[in-house]
Amino acid sequence: MANHDIDITVRRGSVHALVGENGAGKSTLMKILYGMQQPDEGTITVDGEQVTFGSPAAAIARGIGMVHQHFMLADNLTVQENVALGAERLYGIGGRARQRIMELSDAYGLAIRPDVLVEDLGVADRQRVEILKVLYRGARTLILDEPTAVLVPQEVDALFDNLRELKAEGLTVLFISHKLGEVLSVADDITVIRRGTTVASVHPADTTPKQLAELMVGSELPSPETRESTVTDTAMLTVEGLHLSATDPDGAVRTVLDGISFVIRKGEVLGVAGVEGNGQAELVETVMGMRDPDGGSVTLDGQDISHTPTRRRREDGIGYIPEDRHRHGLLLEAPLWENRMLGHVTEEPNSRGQILDLKSARRDTERIVADYDVRTPGIEVTAASLSGGNQQKLIVGREMSHHPKLLIAAHPTRGVDVGAQAEIWDQIREARREGLAVLLISADLDELIGLSDTLRVMYRGSLVADADPATITPEELGSAMTGAASGHLEHEEAQGRQAPEDGDGGGPR
């Protein structure tokens, strides 16, 4: 089992945070508590009564509900329909359901609008719908799996207000997060899991983020700070006036990238901040060649690659750490060594001519596993059986092994534990010192500010603001991400100035 000797006690009417490295066994524990997996030994007690959960339905019947990290909502249905879906027996699908939704929404300050289509909702609203769904099914204990991963700071605050509201009404919240500052601000109790077992239970008043992180990793904590500049004068990636339209499912054509211009020089990390869905994914896919821009140009190391196929771009030295590693980075049911070849099958050591070189590929996979500390019993296991952090380390190892000139890193440490996070940051920093140019997209503002040499803010398909990572704060960046501020962001007076600059990408000076 992934877990052993887990002891955790959650008090009624409290917010209890569960922190730990990825692969430490948090998800397994959650799955057991929610009835998706059965423990080999040990007991679960709810309200003094020993229980066993054979399925999520059994857990819900006991008042335990789960809000997953990836939302499970039907986009083309309204909020009310989504909430009632699968729980029609409780309050029907009509007036009674609506009444119940409004009761819950008012009681916990969720501000739900039942008639809005889910596709028109932002991430934070969707999350509230998910929470409501669980409450609607009668949950008194809520399990939230990394709820803040997709939110900007202001939205996180709003979520925490909701959680406090729930707590005040006597509900219990079990909350998983990697962001220790947040955990400390909202939790009443904190349990730390390391390597499948509970190592500590602490009170937020008695601890600091640093101590918590050290408990999680079991050693000293690194930070993303990189202050000494390695930026050179040679442009590696130049993007000019990039324009991309996409046709959405209704057939309407809309602009997703509008006049994007920037330059990344050798040894420079350009960080792009933005609320998800503002064109970052499309920007990455256009630079990777997975989407064809209808205007503007992309130049890599002096060569125009605006319309070159993806494979050529990879061979020319673009490394890619995708945002969604399951969709774009891995073949989940294939062994690790086949995953090592993915994206680089035309290059050494994976093939010679048209023929695969399985021996070298296997040997090199062993090397990556060792050098990048991918925790796995071997290279024949499928990628799916590794934890998220280890999958990501494999991807980073793979991409770095081909000595890219430009690395596109989209949320490189999302869902990755503190230990792996530090290793990935180290890799990026080291390669940057050797002249790597990095395009960094991240929702983790600390990571962006800590790693970047230049910061840009993306809003509705345009780069609307820039900032100096040496002085900017996450809050100031957050307000630009919601479109409230643009232009050059100065510390203290973040408001007002217009004229988003475009062109040379000189960045904040």
Partner 1 sequence: MKKIDKNKLILAVAAPLLAIVAAIVITSAIILSTGEDPIRAYTVMIEFGSKSDSQVWIVDKSVPYYLSALAVAIGFRMNLFNIGVDGQYRVAAFFAAVVGGALTLPGFLQIPVIIIVAMAVGALWSGIAGVLKATRGVSEVITTIMLNFIAGSLIGYFLQEGRLAEKDGNLFHTPNIPDSSHFFTLPTNPEPIGGFVVIAALAGVVYWFVINRTRFGFDLRAVGHSESAAEASGVSVKRMVVTSMLLSGAAAGLVGMPTLLGSSYNYGTDFPVGIGFTGIALALLGRNHPLGMALAALLWGFLDRTGIQLEFEGYAQEIVEVMKGVIVLCVVIAYELVRRYGLRLQQRKVGEELAALARDKGNGTNDKAGVSA
Residues that bind partner 1 (CB under 8 A): 1-4, 23, 25, 28, 194-196, 199-200, 202, 211, 214-215, 218-220, 288-290, 309-314, 320, 322, 327-334, 338, 341-346, 351, 354-356, 358, 375-378, 380-382, 384-386
Look at residues 272, 192, 186, 205 and name the one whose alpha carbon lies nearest to residue 6: 192
With respect to partner 1, which residue has the nearer C-beta, 85 or 290? 290
Nearer to partner 1, 77 or 331 (CB): 331
Residue 476 contacts residue 482 (beta carbons within 8 Å): no
Cβ atoms 151, 123 nearer than 8 A = yes
Smallest Cα–Cα separation from 260: which of 233, 300, 308, 294? 294
CA–CA separation, 404 and 108 (whole Å):
50
Count CA atoms within 13 Å of residue 135 on its CB side: 29
Closest CB 312 distance from partner 1, rounded Å: 8
134, 141 Cβ separation under 8 angstroms: no
Give least dist CB 375 to partner 1, A: 5
Q: Considering the complex, what minimum distance in angstroms separates the CB of residue 351 from partner 1?
A: 5
CB of 288: closest distance to partner 1 in angstroms? 7
User: What are the residues whose beta carbons fall under 8 Å from the beta carbon of 281, sequence distance 6 or more?
Assistant: 323, 410
Residues 6+ apart with CB under 8 A from 178: 19, 146, 149, 415, 416, 417, 418, 421
Looking at the Cβ atoms of 154 and 211, the one nearer to partner 1 is: 211
If DSSP states are collapsed to H, E and C, what string results for 54-102? CCHHHHHHCCEEEECCCCCCCCCCEHHHHHHCCCHHHHCCCHHHHHHHH
Decide whether 96 or 363 has the Cβ nearer to partner 1: 363
231 vs 331, which CB is nearer to partner 1? 331
Residue 91, burial from CB neighbour count under 10 angstroms (0-12, 13-18, 19+): middle
**Of 28 and 462, which has the nearer Cβ to partner 1?**
28
Go through the chain and tell me how many residues it has.
509
Q: Least CB distance from residue 8 to partner 1, whole Å?
A: 17
Cβ closer to partner 1: 320 or 372?
320
Residue 362 or 429: the one with the smaller Cβ distance to partner 1 is 362
Handedness of CA 128, 134, 137, 139 (dihedral sign): negative
Task: State the DSSP string of 111-133.
Answer: ---TTSBGGGS-HHHHHHHHHHH
28 or 162: CB nearest partner 1: 28
Give me the amino acid identity at 53. F
